[in-house]
Structure 1
């Protein structure tokens, strides 16, 4: 079987200062079936680059051409290469001796002839001394290979590219002096996936003559990254970050860190545009207390976020619903769904299934949203790609209002032992119901906490410290009714003990058992 042939292409322009280092490192590769192609891109250094290149004789393949830029020099090398794989070596960088051999071994072990390999790298100064090793985020690049491109992780001299890539997507764009490499990776990343090797395989020289340090690079790079943002599909953005907004937030941060201010600002501006267009469904289960339900509906209609769907689920109300219908009639996207009395869990599930929004917020009929509730929570969730969040809230009882600072608590798995998530503060991704999550309808008290525990176990939980909901309570509310508290905790405990995913957190299960025991003891004492 013929050994894989690797072509190392060295584009050079006025390279007398460093090119011997580069060519020598290519010739020192331990992989035997390697060809080195040096392309002199019209150097004007009195023939010094030409003399150095020719001094290597037949150990290299030498091409001399008129000046056309790095892309044109690389393309000339690609046209002349006889290898199965392309590797790039800038005239001021160095390949470590084992670079080619280790990449050949790894590439062949993958069984993926379409894979493009990249690696970590070492920064060196003008004299070749080590500055630092650059270690890329291997976990991120394994989970999201496209982020090799999207987080600027690809050092061109570390790549190991199958020749088929150029046949499929074309060569480097000669009209792009400093982004010709990333342009090529962008054109190919969907069909030629990046695979990161967590090994330092090259040495990259850091000096003041590099093109990426020139002002024109910023202009060209800004145009390129805007093309990337425009070229990534909404489905890809959601797949990688959970939402379009989260993708754009991440891109804005990355671009800002790389001093591409204009591109970062545009990505940030688009976050607001995307969020403003997101539909949020608010589900309100209703069993009597119609007068309070009307004020709950009005609080939703007063939200600063405008794209809202209101779904009121009539859970077998006995009271006149004309006031509810009148309140809903004043909203352009509102519905009243009726069902036989089956409890709040069934009502919420019914509304959740009917929801058309990307996110679903739950509001009890006797509670209220503050005007910025949906907007603030949506911005936080969409920006982080979160599937489940809750906030702090204000509790109104007997004319007194107390702040319940639960938003910064309730991390998983701590919430197994004591969960203070209030349902009217919760917003979830609508898609969770398609994953099989729903309120357990056989439980009438504690059913909400049971669901929160299962969602948090699978997706985590985002807490927002600001109080954005008013929970109206009375003496019959679970927070003040010991019997309801006991029933709720016992229902939660029974579910946790029956769930392998939750019961494994033994320390927190013990806390929950102690809470149940304490509540029973307090009831007996009274």
Structure 2
């Protein structure tokens, strides 16, 4: 794409004690073939040298901010969203990676089809080894997403000139899913570019508490979305089954 005509993409990155991975994530942005972007990093009160590493990056397209109090990834993302000036909003966490052609191919996909909200396939990365490729469904609607959040945050790009600027809700978990549902109320469908363009790092040092995860999802359905109990039960059952199948890949 011609860089003089490329619309600006605002990339949202939260950090928290990310010293082991943040430079690799930033470099995956610096290596994009698409050049008209701004990387907006908000640090959530890291206690390691994350900020020092970020400040060592000498590129005027990279800007960073630091929260005055720890608020979680959603608050950090919202701070960066508030600073965003681009037509497009994209997301990348400080331990995940993009392939060099990610933005170029996805923005082209959106502009050629007039899609305001898109996502892509992604691949798991565990202990430096590439794993399963997560092939998300071809499209997403509000109703479908209630049953399973199959949209990877690191793959999303949406057009705020069409959908407006939106922030993640003030909840500690499932902020991304809540934002996708908000966007899907404004546009009927999100579309998948069926190509693996990102790497999602999984931390083998952490053992997920399945009971806590289930409780979080249940509270998201019943409190954040205020769904009736019977509706929440149906969606919770589906979400659990699909989640198990996803982890088996």
Query: What secondary structure sits across from 1:304 in the alignment?
Result: coil
Does 1:455 find its partner at 2:183?
yes
Instruction: Return the alpha-carbon distance in structure 1 between the equivalents of residues 239 and 6 of structure 2.
Output: 45
Q: Is the 8 A contact 1:275 1:379 kept in 2?
A: no
Instruction: Return the alpha-carbon distance in structure 2 between the equivalents of residues 477 and 444 of structure 1.
Output: 18
TM-score by length of 1: 0.42
Q: Please, which of 39, 43, 60 is the counterpart of residue 332 of structure 1?
A: 60
**Residue 486 of structure 1 corresponds to which residue in structure 2?**
214
Q: Please, which of 508, 512, 516 is the counterpart of residue 235 of structure 2?
A: 512
Q: Residue by residue, what CA displacement relative to the aligned partner does 1:435-461 show, whole Å, maximum 9, x if unpaired?
A: 5x32112x2221111111221132121
Q: Residue by residue, what CA displacement relative to the aligned partner does 1:133-170 show, whole Å, maximum 9, x if unpaired?
A: xxxxxxxxxxxxxxxxxxxxxxxxxxxxxxxxxxxxxx
**Residue 383 of structure 1 corresponds to which residue in structure 2?**
112
TM-score by length of 2: 0.84
**Residue 424 of structure 1 corresponds to which residue in structure 2?**
154
Does 1:405 find its partner at 2:135?
yes
- In the TM superposition, what is the alpha-carbon distance from 1:308 to its structure 2 partner? 1.1
Does 1:365 find its partner at 2:94?
yes
Q: Alignment RMSD, CA only?
A: 2.7
User: Where do 4+ consecutive residues of structure 1 move more than 3 Å?
Assistant: 272-276, 409-412, 430-435, 475-478, 515-519
Q: Please, which of 293, 296, 312 is the counterpart of residue 22 of structure 2?
A: 293
Does 1:470 find its partner at 2:193?
no
Instruction: Return the alpha-carbon distance in structure 2 between the equivalents of residues 341 and 472 of structure 1.
Output: 23
Q: Which moved more, 1:393-402 or 1:340-349?
A: 393-402
**Residue 347 of structure 1 corresponds to which residue in structure 2?**
76
- In the TM superposition, what is the alpha-carbon distance from 1:517 to its structure 2 partner? 7.1
Cα 1:430–1:475 change in 2 (3 A) is same
Cα 1:406–1:287 change in 2 (3 A) is same
Does 1:322 find its partner at 2:52?
yes
- In the TM superposition, what is the alpha-carbon distance from 1:408 to its structure 2 partner? 2.4
**Residue 444 of structure 1 corresponds to which residue in structure 2?**
172
Q: Is the 8 A contact 1:407 1:466 kept in 2?
A: no
Gaps of 5+ in 2: 243-249
Q: Residue by residue, what CA displacement relative to the aligned partner does 1:292-313 show, whole Å, maximum 9, x if unpaired?
A: 0111000000000011111110
**Residue 138 of structure 1 corresponds to which residue in structure 2?**
none
Greater share of residues in helix: 1
Q: Residue by residue, what CA displacement relative to the aligned partner does 1:63-104 show, whole Å, maximum 9, x if unpaired?
A: xxxxxxxxxxxxxxxxxxxxxxxxxxxxxxxxxxxxxxxxxx
Higher relative contact order (CA 8 A, sep 6+): 2
Instruction: Return the alpha-carbon distance in structure 2 between the equivalents of residues 390 and 477 of structure 1.
Output: 27
In the alignment of these two chains, the number of paired residues is: 237
Query: What secondary structure sits across from 1:295 in the alignment?
Result: helix
**Residue 8 of structure 2 corresponds to which residue in structure 1?**
279
Query: What secondary structure sits across from 2:21 in the alignment?
Result: helix
- In the TM superposition, what is the alpha-carbon distance from 1:462 to its structure 2 partner? 1.5
- In the TM superposition, what is the alpha-carbon distance from 1:426 to its structure 2 partner? 0.9
- In the TM superposition, what is the alpha-carbon distance from 1:497 to its structure 2 partner? 4.3
- In the TM superposition, what is the alpha-carbon distance from 1:477 to its structure 2 partner? 6.4
Cα 1:282–1:477 change in 2 (3 A) is farther
Instruction: Return the alpha-carbon distance in structure 1 between the equivalents of residues 219 and 163 of structure 2.
Output: 21
